[in-house]
Amino acid sequence: LAGLRTQQFDWVLNMLEKSEQYLPRDYRENALMFNYAQVYFYQKDYGKVLQHLQQVEYQDPAYALNSRNLLLAVYYEMGQIDPLYSTINSFRTYLKRQQQLSERLRTGYRNLLTVTQRLSKATNREETAIKKIQQKLDANPGTASRQWLQAKLDELKAGQRPW
């Protein structure tokens, strides 16, 4: 993630290729597909993200949560509202059914879903809606993907949302 956040994509891709052989066979394909999806997300190649996420098996709770989170972000970034809302609804259902997840973790992801949905509905002219979104983020520091949400809120405030 540090390499991705600093846009060291060649280094990250090289590291993935070199590390592949050290991953346990049972987890190798899943790990690679998810990590390549992350690389493509940071490169803003959302079509490739979707292709790779289709190959990730959601049996492991970490992959299930992180893949859904990434899918949510892709649909938001692309302005694909119907798939975004569908993903939000299915993600909420998943969180309700996964009793083994801690309440803190479920709350963090529920907040992610709520804020993402509010962001998708708001426009930069709706000061009240923007303030409520900011208050929700400020009041809930454990919100999943909080930095990404704040960046999307800042884009919205500045009238720079790409869609």
Task: Give pLDDT tens digits for 141-152.
Answer: 999 999 999 999
Cα 64 → chain centroid: 11
Q: How far, in Å, CA of 94 to CA of 92, rounded?
A: 5
Q: Which residue has the tokens 């990250």?
A: 12
Exposure string over 23-56, b if 16+ CB within 10 A, otherwise e: eeeeeeebbbbbbbbbbbbbeeebeebbebbeeb
Determine the pLDDT at residue 58. 87
pLDDT digits (tens, 9 = 90+) for 61-117: 999 999 999 999 999 999 999 999 999 999 999 999 999 999 999 999 999 999 999
User: What per-residue confidence (pLDDT) applies to 60?
Assistant: 87
How confident is the model at residue 122, as a pLDDT?
97
Residue 16 and residue 32 in contact, taking contact as beta carbons nearer than 8 Å: yes
Retrieve residue 40's tokens. 């493509």
CA atoms within 13 A on the CB side of 139: 9
* pLDDT of 4 strictly over 90: yes
Please provide the DSSP assignment of the chain as one string.
-HHHHTT-HHHHHHHHHHHGGGS-HHHHHHHHHHHHHHHHHHTT-HHHHHHHHTT----SHHHHHHHHHHHHHHHHHHT-HHHHHHHHHHHHHHHHH-TTS-HHHHHHHHHHHHHHHHHHH--TT-HHHHHHHHHHHHH-TT-TTHHHHHHHHHHHHTT----
Q: How far apart are CA 15 and CA 27, in angstroms?
A: 17
Residue 12 has pLDDT above 90, yes or no: yes
pLDDT digits (tens, 9 = 90+) for 22-72: 999 998 999 999 999 999 999 999 999 999 999 999 888 999 999 999 999
